[in-house]
Structure 1
Amino acid sequence: MLSNRLGIILTTALAPAVWGTTYIVTTELLPPGRPLLAAVVRALPAGLLLVLITRRLPRGSWWWRATVLGALNIGAFLALLFVAAYRLPGGVAATVGAVQPLLVAGLSAGLLGERLTLRTVLSGLAGVAGVSLLVLRAGARLDGLGVAAALGGAVVMAAGVVLSKRWAPPAPLLATTGWQLVAGGLLLLPVALLVEGPPPAVLTPANLAGYGYLSLVGAALAYTLWFRGIRALSPTGVTFLGLLSPLVATTVGWVVLGQELTAAQVLGAAVVLGALVVAQGGRPNGGSRPEEGVRTEGNGRPAAGSEDDLVRVQS
């Protein structure tokens, strides 16, 4: 049981680790000044591919639920991240975004019945401190709208993570991941066209390779692993793994681009890793109540029912 949980934690951690490579892929391979186009190409083709593979469409209330989750986890989050990235230094945006585990912990206490512990709060504060040491630079300017966008991005994704746990999945993991990616991509598409205009007429092989990586690895694979982790683990524990993104981004910049790595950054990396380890020490599923839509018998086992009920339990 313990080794299985550790395996799920490690595979879930691959998602934010992959997202930590987004910066170098964007700067080195993609056309400049097109972050929203990158977000659309990252989400929409990957979502359509997963829907095509699974051949499953939402039913009933899951049309609007998938839209809400896609907006929170992908569409609105990436749009707000775009605003924050353009109005703030990257270190400020990442530091503000590091409050997300604390937000998820608070929402999980209210919506999922998880207990908000002192260890979680202290780990969350340590995570913010570690990320600030890792990426924040002296003299970084603050912009009110940029800070609000960064905080809003953390809030909407925190809500998406908790709702992803609360709403019982009605279909296999690949299908529900595809629904969210399609919904988020469709939400971003008109925004990208309005803000950035039509896509470039000519794309180089490097551009195509970058977009392919972001879509297949950064979205289809990474989001599948991320949502699998949310299904199996506590949302609070999962969201702490998101602190790996700035850690991986800094490490890649040091190894690949030859960027300087200071003693403060090394200390910040150690603090982030310590916060991650401590935060994973709770109960395997965070003590949350059974997911909505799964009927249980008196012994806690799923009750016999429809095929959809069986899918909810197995997925």
Structure 2
Amino acid sequence: MSDSNSTDFTNPSTFILLGIPGLEEAHGWISSPFCTMYPIATLGNFTILFIIKMEPSLHGPMYYFLCMLAVTDLVLSTSILPKMLSIFWFNSREINFSACLTQLYFILSFSAMQSGVLVAIAFDRYVAICDPLRHSTTLTNPVVANIGLAVVLHGAILILPIPFLARRWPYCSTNIIPHMYCEHIAVVKLACADISLSSYYSLSAAFFVISLDVFFIAMSYNQILRAIISLPTKDARLRTFGTCGSHVCVILSSYIPALFSFLTHRFGHNVPQHLHILMANIYLLVPPMLNLIIYGVRTQQIRDRLLQPFTHKGT
């Protein structure tokens, strides 16, 4: 592997991912939790997809959206972890220029889709609680399909200009990325050009996605809480809010680490670089791993289906 620090080039054939600068000696130890996360996330999300497919009682809007969430989690994990582990285990740091931009696009677009799916689930919970008699007629299969298509298109199209902008910049000083994956700002900072357009567009896209999605989720839960408070008994209130518990946990596990990473990246100038990198990985990799645990524990239908083989053996 050649060092490209002093090489002049306009379009590099490869980038070199450093992993976690300053913690190279600890890469083997750091790889252990990440190595554990990937099989758990993969097995867990495939299990959710399998259970929903095989159980007719789960063929409903919330579970269709849950399938979409599982697919986005699988794509996010697979976009990052295999290359990350090859860096940790085999010191395989090179990544093709086009592959780097493809990874960048998949990470950003499926993160946006993941956020959109959380909005869709919030809308489903709003209709189910605030207007239950019209739930089946409002969220029909064609409506669910259109919502799913809108979620996919809004993530795919909004993020599409980002890799194209990154491709147009000249890279003429170095191709070394101080990161574990092709994070957008880490890539475009290597360009020897004014990258303001890339920076402003990515920031605007992130603000547009997060602010709108959080706004719609907040509006849905504002109406849900008002409907729950109006219920006559405490048991009814707890039981009704319990149907939203899994979704609330997923929202918190998705947005809080992402918000913390964003704030430390933008304003935490005294935060060590390795902490920035670790946080950027945690907010992408931890939610896919947690989804099976959250939905498996809190959703009775999925929990019962998961435990069914064991309960049959015990009877």
Instruction: Tell whether the structures are fold-level matches, with TM greater than 0.5.
Output: no
The structure having more radius of gyration, on CA atoms, is: 2
Q: Relative contact order: is structure 1 or structure 2 higher (C-alpha 8 Å, sep ≥ 6)?
A: 1
